[in-house]
Every structure is written in C-alpha cells, then in structure tokens.
Amino acid sequence: MPRTPMTAAVAAALAVLAACAATQQAAADPAAPSSAPPPPLTGDVRVHDPALVAGGPGEDWYVFGTGDQAVGDGNVQIRTSANGNHWENAGTVWDTKPAWLSEEVPGVENLWAPEVYEHDGTYYLYYSASTFGSQRSVIALATNTTLDPDDPDYAWVDRGKVFESHEGDPYNAIDPGIVEDGSGNPWMAFGSHWGGIYMLPLDWPGGKPADGAQPFRIADRGEGDNRIEAPYIAEHGGDYYLYVSFDACCQGTDSTYKIAVGRSDAPTGPFTDAEGVPMTEGGGTVILAERGGDVAAGGQSLSEGRIAYHTYGPYGTPGDFRLGIERVRWTGDGWPVLAH
C-alpha cells in the first residue's frame, strides 16, 4: 500500500502529542533518563539523608530519613510512595527511642542518616546516634521482615549497638552504608570529618562486626575540617562506586554539600576518581552540587539504579531541605552522571 505523504500540519500535531507524552512520562517517573533535572517530587518530601528502597512494578517505594526531635521522639522517619513521585508520611520507626541510646550518647535528640539493606528476607535498618560536632557516636541496628506497615508481621526489633566512636578515635561512627562483596560478605562504610571514611567487615545474619574486625580508611580529604561523609557503595558493571558528600551540610542556603564519587574493582577499594586521584588523597569526582534553585545536594543513597539525596534551597521556608530522586546515567567509560 502506498504511503500518504505527511503534511506539515499532521507532523506538527504528532510533535505536540510526542512532547505531551514525554512530559507525562517524566512526571510519572521521577527517575526517567533525561539531560534536564527531573520534575520536583510532590507530597511530603521534607527528607534529610534519605535511604531509598525503590519499588518494582506494582510495588510501593520507601524512603527512610533522619529524625526530627519534635516528631516521634526523634526516631527515624518513614515515607512511602506508590510510584516514586508522590510521597506520604508514614510515621517513625518507633514512638520512643530505645533507652540505651540516651545512656550511651548523652544529649542525643534525633537519630540520623539511616541505611536500609535487605538480606535473605530480613531488612536491616542501620542508623546513627550522636550530637552535632561530637565524636561520641554510635551506629545501631534494627531489623524487620517487611517494610509494609499493614503487614501483621511488621515490627522493628531493636538489635542494639553495631559500632561506636569516642573522642580521640581516628573516625566518627555515623552515616553507615552497607555493601556485599562478590562472595556475599557484608561490609559497612561509615564516617564523617575527622579521619574520613572507614570500612568495617560485618557478618550475616547478625549484621554486626565480624570477629576481630578492625576499621580501615577508604577515603580522606586530608585538609581542614576534612568535610567528607555519608558514604554509600554501589556496584555497576562489575565495578564498585563510592559515593560521598563533600563540604558543609545543615546550613540552610549557606550549605555547600555536593555529591562526589570514586571507582574500584572491589567494594573495599582502593577508590580513585575520574582523574585517577585516590580518594584517600582527596580525590572524588563531583556529580551533583548546586543546580537550578538548589544550593547544595548530598546525603545520598542508591536503589535499583536510582539515586536519592536531599537538597537545600529557597523553598517554602528559605534554607529548608527536600528529597530528590533521579536515575543514574552512565558515560561510555563507566562513570555515573546526573541530569544537569
């Protein structure tokens, strides 16, 4: 059958329809690949230090975030979404913090920087208890068999202390991030300022440090306040990528947070940036900093090819923070890039 020539009017109409479809797809999928930033998420997106669990088709999404001392006794906050775009508040992990936390860390008000990792049907929730600017810090653990609060088996069980730091240690025990090696052995990256980012071997199924485990350094800026924290390690294409946050968080529109990354062929390093600079010598390729109305970005985690982070900006309340999620894209030589 001969083809009918396409008129200019028909071509224009089809172009409009394609543009509308693309816009609708971007709105439905905040992580859709794009050279432009994804549209802002909607609903309750006031999340700091997000730990993302991206849902598959027909599955709910979850984000766990740093607590607010005025809400649920400062416990880790939970938000849920049916599509990864619109988010709703789902309360806190507990109504009151475990009493032992206040005994271990006097003055602790809210729990920070959670990490959620699933292993063999159990969800491991790691989180930090500390006070701002202090090295007296504890990483603790809770477990659950489901993330669905409507499941009759839903219950976060306190598993106690995982690791700690005291004044004078070369590290600060906050910001845990979990990764498994090729043999299924778990490792915990952690750290903020002081001596930088450290790694500690763990054991399954307890999720606690392996016998005789000693932490070792995997990233260090080695200058001034050593502003590096929030490690998260994710595998892609057989390599492992260490994502960290550089510079200053928590200062409203004066924040200078930015997300940087290094790569290694092993989850324990050594990690180098795109210029070949070791991350133990100040290396780190920045992939997201200020963008549009956002003055800073950091506190990242990854799930199913998406990266979650919080940004600061002149939002409804100037200097407030909010959740961002987008798909990680990749260069031909294997480096992650974000929309810009």
Type of residue found at 287: I
* Whether residue 44 lies in the annotated active site: no
Is there a catalytic annotation at residue 49? Answer: yes
Beta strand pairing status for 86-92 and 42-43?
Answer: parallel
Determine the number of helices (DSSP H) and then strands (DSSP E) in the chain: 2, 23
Q: What CA–CA distances, in Å, run from 188 to 178, 193, 199, 267, 333?
A: 5, 17, 6, 10, 27
Catalytically annotated residue among 49, 115, 247, 294: 49
CA pair distance 263, 285, nearest whole angstrom: 10
Give the CA distances from residue 56 to residues 53, 59, 133, 301, 303, in Å, rounded to whole numbers and listed in that order.
10, 5, 38, 17, 11
Q: Give CB contacts under 8 A, 24+ apart, made by 54-59.
A: 54/84, 54/303, 54/304, 54/305, 54/306, 55/81, 55/84, 56/304
164: burial class by Cβ within 10 Å (0-12, 13-18, 19+)?
Answer: middle
d(CA 197, CA 222) in angstroms, rounded, equals 11
Residue pair 51/116 in contact by the 8 Å Cβ criterion: yes
Active-site residue, from 220, 229, 247, 273: 229
CA–CA dist 202, 218 (Å, integer):
16
Residues classed as catalytic? 49, 229
